[in-house]
């Protein structure tokens, strides 16, 4: 599923949230990756530093020759980089300190600064900005002190020191390296925020989808099982005295269960193939006559007033489910055997009113909390409202107001 989404987004959007190695550095895979030392990059950088220092020594004959202590200093500086992910602060100060000792010994300038740059880069990206800046500042201040004042006391013997202009050039390069590291850190944090926002949005969509499926299953099963329950009770009561009526009740049970299975299968199909179009159209207010017949088979007489307007599929389904749930609650929780459904479109909205004359047969007058909560969620998803409560004359009323797009009537 994730690979399919990546292919659909394309390469440009995939790169927008960072390359794969940033993802591994920020998520659960970070622990195994950080437990492994970066051998490859350290070895490559060690070779570059050693070979590059040899070339630099040939170009700087006035500096000290690269002897064994110099090579050990270079090697130790690069070896420290193996722990730059685990301990970025000590590695940053360690490489800077070794580089300062290397320069104080009079050895030629060269790629040793690259090792310091990599260490400080890793520290900044890991969030240790002050430590990295302090390490770089320590190296530059030490080099400034050596090249302007202490060069007379340190090797090589004929060293003339450096001028302030050269030091400013070195300081500029240091600022460039640190600025690039800061930019990488900011970009990495931005990628992390974007990934967190995407994960949160995905969780929110998953929660909304679960709620939608729960509402659909509740409405389908509650209505059908209520009809089946009433008809089963009627069939048992008439099984001996009126076999024909018992047969009719069993026929109604069969039809209701078949319809419930079909609608449940439709809901489950959306889970198996979320990208495909549904095989059968979603129910809407056009199926009100079927709903009235099902209610009649459960012993409830329903009177419908008003013509249903043309609605978009989502609003049409919500309106149908609200009426279905309200009638189911009348069958289950009301002593009345008559209900009225009034549809009043106009003014950019549709008013659905479902009334029964009561009285309630139990504590759950008007329905249980799940059914009413599902109706409110459906209305709220469309920007509408639901009002449900007992009437002054002892009955119960459900009033739904759903917005209707003007384009739906054209």
pLDDT tens readout for residues 333-383? 887 889 999 999 888 889 999 999 877 765 455 455 567 887 888 888 888
Mean pLDDT of 124-139: 88
| More confident: 79 or 187 | 79
Output the pLDDT for position 1.
41
What phi and psi values does residue 395 have, to the nearest 5 degrees? -85, -165
Question: Is the model's pLDDT at 55 over the cut of 90?
Answer: yes
Q: In this predicted structure, what is the pLDDT of residue 35?
A: 56
Does residue 229 or residue 13 have the better pLDDT? 229
- Cβ distance 140 to 162 under 8 Å? no
Are 360 and 334 in contact, with CB atoms under 8 Å apart? Answer: yes
Confidence grade of residue 9 (pLDDT, cut at 50, 70, 90): very low
Answer yes or no: is pLDDT of 285 > 80. yes
How far apart are alpha carbons 82 and 331 in whole angstroms?
A: 73
pLDDT confidence of residue 251: 78
Instruction: State the burial class of residue 380 (Cβ atoms within 10 Å of its Cβ: 0-12, 13-18, 19+).
Output: exposed
Is the pLDDT reported for residue 43 higher than 90? Answer: yes
CA atoms of 152 and 150, how far apart (whole Å): 5
Please give the residue that has the higher pLDDT: either 156 or 406: 156
Q: Whole-model pTM?
A: 0.47
Q: Check if the beta carbon of residue 82 is closer than 8 Å to that of residue 46.
A: no
Measured at the CA of 407, the angle between CA 404 and CA 410, to 5 degrees, comes to 115
pLDDT recorded at residue 400: 92
- pLDDT tens-digit map of 379-403: 888 888 999 888 888 889 999 999 8
Cα distance between residue 329 and residue 323, in whole Å: 10
Rounded average pLDDT over 104-112? 89
How far is Cα 103 from Cα 142, in angstroms, rounded to an integer? 9
Q: Which residue has the higher pLDDT, 13 or 104?
A: 104
pLDDT band for position 30 (cuts 50, 70, 90): very low
Are 119 and 107 in contact, with CB atoms under 8 Å apart?
no
Q: Mean of the pLDDT values across residues 197-221?
A: 79
Q: Please give the pLDDT value at position 89.
A: 94
**Do residues 90 and 50 lie in contact, with contact meaning Cβ atoms separated by under 8 Å?**
no
Q: Is 191 helix (H, G, I), strand (E, B) or coil?
A: helix
Query: Tens of pLDDT along 163-198?
Result: 677 667 777 877 887 788 778 878 888 888 898 888
């Amino acid at each position: 599923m994730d690979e399919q989404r990546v292919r659909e987004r394309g390469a440009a959007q995939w790169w927008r949230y960072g390359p794969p190695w940033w993802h591994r550095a920020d998520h659960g895979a970070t622990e195994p990756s950080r437990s492994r030392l970066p051998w490859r990059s350290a070895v490559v950088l060690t070779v570059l530093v050693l070979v590059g220092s040899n070339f630099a020594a040939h170009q700087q004959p006035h500096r000290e020759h690269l002897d064994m202590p110099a090579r050990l200093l270079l090697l130790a500086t690069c070896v420290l980089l193996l722990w730059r992910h685990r301990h970025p602060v000590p590695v940053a100060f360690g490489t800077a300190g070794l580089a300062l000792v290397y320069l104080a010994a009079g050895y030629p300038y060269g790629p040793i600064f690259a090792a310091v740059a990599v260490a400080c880069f890793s520290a900044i990206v890991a969030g240790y900005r002050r430590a990295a800046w302090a390490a770089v500042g320590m190296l530059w201040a030490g080099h400034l002190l050596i090249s302007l004042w202490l060069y007379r006391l340190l090797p090589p013997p004929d060293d003339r020191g450096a001028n302030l202009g050269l030091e400013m050039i070195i300081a500029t390069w240091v600022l460039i390296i640190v600025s690039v590291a800061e930019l990488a850190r900011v970009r990495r944090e931005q990628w992390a925020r974007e990934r967190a926002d995407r994960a949160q949005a995905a969780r929110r969509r998953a929660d909304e989808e679960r709620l939608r499926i729960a509402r659909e299953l509740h409405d389908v099963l509650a209505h059908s099982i209520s009809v089946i329950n009433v008809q089963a009770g009627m069939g048992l009561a008439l099984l001996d005295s009126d076999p024909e009526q018992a047969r009719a009740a069993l026929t109604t049970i069969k039809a209701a269960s078949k319809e419930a299975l079909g609608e449940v299968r439709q809901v489950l199909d959306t889970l198996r193939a979320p990208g495909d179009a549904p095989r059968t159209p979603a129910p809407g207010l056009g199926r009100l006559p079927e709903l009235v017949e099902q209610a009649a088979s459960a012993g409830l007489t329903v009177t419908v007033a008003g013509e249903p307007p043309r609605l978009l599929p989502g609003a049409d389904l919500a309106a149908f489910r609200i009426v279905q749930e309200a009638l189911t609650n009348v069958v289950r929780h009301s002593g009345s055997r008559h209900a009225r459904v009034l549809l009043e479109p106009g003014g950019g909205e549709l008013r659905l009113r479902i009334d029964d004359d009561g009285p309630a047969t139990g504590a759950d007058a008007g329905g249980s909390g799940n059914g009413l909560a599902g109706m409110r969620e459906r209305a709220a998803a469309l920007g509408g409202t639901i009002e449900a409560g007992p009437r002054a004359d002892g009955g119960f009323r459900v009033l739904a107001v759903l917005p209707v797009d003007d384009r739906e009537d054209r």
